[in-house]
C-alpha cells in the first residue's frame, strides 16, 4: 500500500509539473506521437550508435596503455632495444609497445617527417632532457604506465587507434600530400574516435537523450540520414574554420541533433506540448557553446573542436528544415524549406571549393587568411647569417607550405635545432627566414 501511494504521489506531482510547462496543442501532438511510436519499435539507430561509439573506445582502450613523457631530446642505448620501426605515427608506436606486454618498458619516438620508433626493454640510466645534439634532438621518451582503471579514463580509443593518422580530421602532418583526398572519408570516420571516458560518455548521453525523441517521431531511416549529414556538416565547418587543428569525436552529430530539434520546433511549433522547455534547453546549450568558443579564441588552452559543433548545429538545422516531418504545412514553411536547401547547397559547395581549390597541402581557415596557407609550423634557432644557431637571439617561428620545405629544414635539423609546434607558441607571428630549399 505504501508503495502504491508513493507511486501515485510521484505521478500526481509529474502531472502537476507538466501542466505548468505544457502549452496548448493544435491538432496532432508531437510528444504523443513519439510515445505511441516508441511503444511499437525501439530506436535502433540511436541504440546502435551509442553501442558502436562506446564499444570502439572501450575495445581499443583495453588494448593499450597510458604513456607519460619522461624526457625530451634524449639519446637511447641500442642495447635496450626490443624493436625498431620506421615511418609510423606515435600512437602506433605506443600500441606496439603495449602489445609486447612486460617485455616493453616504454618507447622512444623521433618526431619529424621521417619518424622512428624504438621499443625499450628497460628505462635508460640517468634519464634527463638533453640539448641539441646528434642522436638526441627531437627524440621523446615515453614511459608505459600500468593498465589501471584510472589510467584508462583519459586514454584515446576508436578508429584512430586502429588506423593512426587516417580517420581523424587533421591536415598538418609535415605537409604530407595525402590529406587532399583522404578528407572525403575523414568527414565520416572522425566520429568513431574519442579521447577519454568523459568524451565518449558525454557524447553518448547527448545522443541518447536527443536522438530517441527524434527517432520516435521521424523513424529510424530518416533520423540516421539527418544525423549522418550533420556529422559531415561538422567536418565541413572544421575545414573552413580550423583546418590547422586535429578533431575527432561524435560531438558534431550530437549538435546536429540539437539543430534538428530546433527545426522541429519551428515547423511544428503549435503541435509541440513542451515547446517552451525545449526553447530554454536549446538557448542554454547554444549560449554555453558560444561562451566556450569565445573563450578559446581569446587564448584559452581548450582543445574542444567548437567549429565541428557549430557546423553540426547548422547542418542539423538546415537538413531538419528540409526533411523534418511537418504536421501542419503552411506556405511560409515551404518557402523556409527552399531557403534552407539553397543555403545548405551553397555552404557545401563553398566548403569543398575552399579545400580542393586551395593551395594544398598548405591550408588556411577563414579566420586566418591573413597568415597565409601552411601545413607545418616549427621553431628554429638562427644566427644573423642564418647558418647556425645563436641562442642569444631566441627562438624564431617558421612555416612551410610544401613537403620539400619541411624536409629541407630537417636536413639541417641540428645546426638550427629545428622542432615542430611554432604556431601554438608564436600565435601566428612567423619569421621570414630564408633557407636554402630550392623547391619551397
In whole angstroms, what is the distance from residue 153 CA to residue 149 CA?
7
Distance CA 389, CA 371 (A): 26
Look at 92-101, 174-183, 285-294, 359-368 and tell me which has the smallest mean pLDDT. Answer: 285-294
Q: How far is CA 74 from CA 124, 135, 142, 406, in A?
A: 10, 8, 11, 22
Report the pLDDT averaged over residues 314-337.
89
Query: Is residue 300 scored above 50 in pLDDT?
Result: no
Region 20-28 average pLDDT? 68
Out of 3.40.50.1100, 3.40.50.620, 1.20.1540.10, 3.40.309.10, the CATH code matching 30-56+183-356 is: 1.20.1540.10
> What's the confidence (pLDDT) of residue 15?
53
Pick the closest to residue 241 from 350, 149, 384, 151 (CA basis): 350
Joined grid coordinates for residue 282? 536549446
Contacts of 93 (CB under 8 A, 6+ apart): 85, 107, 109, 115, 117, 119
Mean pLDDT, rounded, of the chain: 83
CA dihedral 197, 198, 203, 208 (to 10 degrees): 80
DSSP 236-256: HHHHHH-TTS-B-SSHHHHHH
Question: How confident is the model over 101-117, as a mean pLDDT?
Answer: 92
Give the model's pLDDT for residue 438: 41
Q: What is the pLDDT of residue 189?
A: 95
The domain 67-144: what is its CATH number? Answer: 3.50.4
For cell 605506443, the residue is 94
Cis peptide before 118 (omega within 30 of 0): no
Taking residues 36-57, what's their average pLDDT? 94
> What are 238-280's pLDDT values in tens digits?
989 888 888 999 999 999 999 999 999 888 888 788 788 888 8
Q: What angle is formed at CA 154 by the lines to CA 309 and CA 119, rounded to 5 degrees?
A: 120
Stated pTM of the model: 0.84
Residue ranges of the domains in the chain? Answer: 30-56+183-356, 67-144, 375-426
Amino acid at each position: 500500500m505504501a508503495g502504491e501511494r508513493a507511486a501515485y504521489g510521484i505521478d500526481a506531482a509529474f502531472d502537476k509539473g507538466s501542466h505548468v510547462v505544457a502549452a496548448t496543442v493544435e491538432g496532432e501532438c508531437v510528444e504523443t506521437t513519439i510515445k505511441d511510436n516508441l511503444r511499437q519499435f525501439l530506436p535502433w539507430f540511436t541504440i546502435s550508435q551509442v553501442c558502436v561509439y562506446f564499444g570502439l573506445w572501450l575495445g581499443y582502450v583495453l588494448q593499450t596503455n597510458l604513456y607519460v613523457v619522461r624526457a625530451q631530446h634524449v639519446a637511447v642505448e641500442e642495447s635496450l632495444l626490443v624493436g625498431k620501426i620506421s615511418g609510423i605515427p606515435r600512437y602506433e608506436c605506443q600500441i606496439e609497445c603495449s602489445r609486447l606486454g612486460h617485455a616493453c618498458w616504454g618507447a622512444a619516438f623521433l618526431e619529424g617527417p621521417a619518424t622512428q620508433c624504438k621499443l625499450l626493454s628497460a628505462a635508460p640510466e640517468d634519464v634527463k632532457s638533453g640539448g641539441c645534439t646528434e642522436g638526441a634532438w627531437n627524440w621523446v621518451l615515453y614511459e608505459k604506465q600500468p593498465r589501471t582503471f584510472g589510467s584508462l579514463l583519459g586514454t584515446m580509443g576508436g578508429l584512430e587507434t586502429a588506423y593512426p593518422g587516417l580517420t581523424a580530421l587533421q591536415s598538418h602532418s609535415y605537409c604530407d600530400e595525402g590529406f587532399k583526398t583522404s578528407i572525403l572519408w575523414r568527414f565520416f570516420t572522425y566520429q568513431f574516435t574519442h579521447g577519454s571516458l568523459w568524451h565518449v560518455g558525454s557524447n553518448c548521453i547527448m545522443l541518447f537523450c536527443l536522438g530517441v525523441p527524434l527517432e520516435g517521431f521521424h523513424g529510424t531511416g530518416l533520423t540516421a540520414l539527418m544525423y549522418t549529414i550533420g556529422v559531415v556538416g561538422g567536418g565541413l565547418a572544421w575545414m573552413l574554420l580550423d583546418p590547422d587543428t586535429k578533431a575527432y569525436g561524435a560531438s558534431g552529430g550530437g549538435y546536429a541533433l540539437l539543430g534538428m530539434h530546433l527545426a522541429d520546433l519551428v515547423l511544428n511549433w503549435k503541435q509541440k506540448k513542451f515547446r517552451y522547455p525545449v526553447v530554454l534547453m536549446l538557448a542554454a546549450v547554444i549560449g554555453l557553446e558560444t561562451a566556450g568558443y569565445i573563450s578559446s579564441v581569446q587564448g584559452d588552452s581548450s582543445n574542444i573542436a567548437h567549429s565541428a559543433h557549430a557546423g553540426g548545429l547548422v547542418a542539423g538545422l538546415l537538413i531538419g528544415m528540409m526533411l523534418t516531418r511537418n504536421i501542419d504545412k503552411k506556405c511560409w514553411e515551404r518557402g523556409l524549406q527552399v531557403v534552407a536547401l539553397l543555403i545548405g547547397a551553397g555552404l557545401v559547395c563553398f566548403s569543398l571549393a575552399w579545400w580542393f581549390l586551395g593551395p594544398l597541402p598548405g591550408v588556411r581557415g577563414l579566420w586566418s587568411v591573413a597568415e597565409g596557407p601552411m601545413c607545418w609550423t616549427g621553431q628554429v634557432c638562427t644566427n644573423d647569417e642564418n647558418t647556425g644557431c645563436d641562442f642569444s637571439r631566441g627562438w624564431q617561428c617558421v612555416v612551410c607550405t610544401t613537403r620539400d620545405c619541411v624536409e629541407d629544414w630537417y636536413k639541417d635539423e641540428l645546426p638550427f635545432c629545428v622542432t615542430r609546434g611554432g604556431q601554438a607558441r608564436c600565435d601566428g607571428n612567423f619569421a621570414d627566414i630564408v633557407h636554402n630549399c630550392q623547391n619551397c
